[in-house]
Amino acid sequence: MNSSRNFLILIIFTLIFSASINHEALSDESSDVKKELQELRQMMEQMQKKIDALEEKNRALEQQAKQKEKPVKEEIIVVEEETDLTVIEEPAQESQSFLSKVQNTFNPEISVIGTFAAAYYSQNDPIVFAENDPENTGVNVQEIEVGFKSVVDSYFRFDLFLSFSTEGVELEEAYGTTLFSLPLNSQFRIGRARAKFGRINQIHRHNQNFVTLPLPAAQFLGEHLNPTSIEANFLVPVPWYLELSASGGSPDVETPTFARDENANDIGKLLYIFHIANFFELSESLGVSLGGSFATGSNGTAAGERSNLYGIDLFVKYRPLKNNPYQEVMFQSEFMYLDAQTPEETLENWGWYAELVYRFAKRWNSGFRFGIIDTNTPVREVEGEDVETTNLFTSIRNEEGEEEEMLGLLGRTYRLSPMLTFNPSEFSQIRLQYDYLNQDFAENQHAIFLQFQYAIGAHGAHPF
């Protein structure tokens, strides 16, 4: 009875409402709501189903895991592991973090190293030997080095280093290295690279031990000798480490010693560099490396004129692994001899430097360097000009009317440089250095440097 009455009331209401103007809209809305509700219900049902399925899966997985775990406790695992040995199975890295994903992409390793130096010179127009040495009293950008490093494929790796300074950008290095086994233990480097000549030339600025470049290196190699070339390195199977290197290429970079010949279309007039490197491990704490270098190529003074540069390098490192693992003493020394033919005369110059560095604590080291360059054929005074007052770097080539760096030397120059370095971490460095420069043809010069260095990006390798 009740329900039928309700039903009647409902019909009446419907009739009344159906007569109303809002009739259409309302009925639409209610049906919409119903539809939505139905949809929601359906969705809920689907989700419930999914949840059920997931739960079941989870249960199954847990059981599997338990089954796998069981043998561990029961010490039967050896049998299972035995079967594992036939296949090399590295557990999939399921829980890969955001970082490891970034690392696993094909981007090359990128590093940026900035080197700045506050400097004080005792002279107005200071004598500076290398391009990236601090230029003036004030704060100087020495170098911003940007490096990109990566393997290309399983056959090559490629390394690129750009050097930014106030003068602009230089392609410091860009070379490919062979990675595959080749006969005679050879390895090739193709492209522009710091040549294997001596030791300091292979060490990037930020890894060097002093603010300024050693005198002979600055004088004979320039900031660095980095011709574009093909370089072959042979690892000779002897009981010690012995590597023979030979490279041939173009002196297409500014170097004081070598330049492109006028008759550049002659293979014999390219730049050839040879290097022999030895390393002897005298004990686990003491290592000695001894090398010899020879570079020959045209020097650009006139067609057919050559420069021959000879070098000997010695490096000794003592690090008592057992007693004081973070202390070390390093001695590094190089001798260079240049024999350069010019249309007027043959120049014979030599240079030598030696540096001793003592790391007395993990983050502190201190050192002293002596460098000298000398010539037995001093550059003649330019007529009508006083050598001491004119630009000391007027060169023989300048006399020939070319604006290039000096080939010869003016006389004897030596420099003394004590240094103290603090590394707050592996990635930053503060260095204090004093330079005393003595020249037998000009005034002495004093200089003080405070150098700051920062490295960001990929963790660099520590060269030996």
Partner 1 sequence: MKKLQYIQGVTITIILFISIALLGQNALAQVQIVTSVPDFASIAKDIGGDKVEVVSLAKGYQDPHFVDAKPIFVTKLNKADLLVYNGLELEIGWLPILITGARNSDILVGNSIGHYNASASIKDKLEVHTSPIDRSMGDIHPGGNPHYMLDPRNGISVARGIAARLIKIDPENAAFYEENFKNFVSALKQKISAWDAQLAPYKGTEVVTYHKLWTYFLDWAGFKLADTIEPKPGIPPTPSHVADLVKKMQAQDIKLIISANYYPQKTPQIIAQKTGSTFLALPTMVEGRDGINSYIELFDAIVGEITSPLKHKEGL
**Least distance to partner 1 from the beta carbon of 400, Å?**
25
Whether 261 contacts 300, CB under 8 Å: yes
The contacts of residue 142 (CB under 8 Å, 6+ apart) are 115, 116, 117, 132, 133, 134, 165, 205, 211, 451
**400 — phi, psi (to 5°)?**
-75, -5
Pick from 442, 419, 379, 454: which is nearest to 123 by CA? 442
Q: Which is nearer to partner 1, 234 or 370 (CB)?
A: 234
Name the minimum Å distance from CB 182 to partner 1.
7
Q: How far is the CB of 156 from partner 1 (least distance, A)?
A: 11
Closest CB to partner 1 among 320 and 378?
Answer: 320
Cα distances from 31 to residues 36, 53, 342, in angstroms, run: 9, 33, 103
At closest approach, how far in Å is the CB of 165 from partner 1? 25
Smallest distance from partner 1 to CB 153, Å: 9
Min dist CB 442 to partner 1, Å, is 36
| Nearer Cβ to partner 1 (25/88) | 88
- The 10 Å CB-count burial string (b at 16+, else e) for 269-281 is bbbbbbbbbeeee
Nearer to partner 1, 30 or 100 (CB): 100
Kindly list the residues in this chain that would bind partner 1 in the complex (CB under 8 A).
75, 77-78, 81-82, 84-91, 95, 97-100, 103, 151, 154, 157, 177-182, 184-187, 234-238, 240-244, 274, 277, 279, 281, 284, 287, 289, 317, 319, 321-322, 325-326, 362-363, 425-427, 456, 459-464
Residue 156 or 436: the one with the smaller Cβ distance to partner 1 is 156
Looking up tokens 């689907």, which residue turns up?
46
Helix 77-84 vs helix 23-74: crossing angle, to nearest 10 = 110
Compute the distance between CA of residue 158 and CA of residue 50 in angstroms, rounded to an integer: 50
Query: How many CB atoms neighbour CB 6 within 10 A?
Result: 10
Residue 449 beta carbon to partner 1: minimum distance, rounded to whole angstroms: 26
* 408, 374 contact by CB (below 8 A): no
Residue 319 or 412: the one with the smaller Cβ distance to partner 1 is 319
With respect to partner 1, which residue has the nearer C-beta, 5 or 66?
A: 66
Q: Which CB sits closer to partner 1, 19 or 92?
A: 92
Q: Which two tokens stand for residue 138?
A: 């004030």
One-letter amino acid for residue 112 of the chain: V
Using the minimum distance from each CB to partner 1, give the nearer residue, 37 or 184.
184
Beta carbon of residue 335, minimum distance to partner 1 (angstroms, whole number)? 19
Nearer to partner 1, 185 or 390 (CB): 185
CB of 29 to partner 1, least distance (A): 48
**Token couple for 273:** 């560099």
CB 311 within 8 A of CB 293: yes
Task: Tell me how far, at minimum, the Cβ of 28 lies from partner 1, in Å.
Answer: 51
- Decide: 278 and 240 in contact? Cβ < 8 Å: yes
Cα 396 from Cα 410, distance rounded (Å): 11
Contact status, residue 231 vs residue 189, Cβ threshold 8 Å: yes
User: What 3-state class would DSSP assign to 218?
Assistant: helix
- CB count in 10 Å sphere of residue 242: 15
CA angle 364, 366, 372 (to 5 degrees): 150
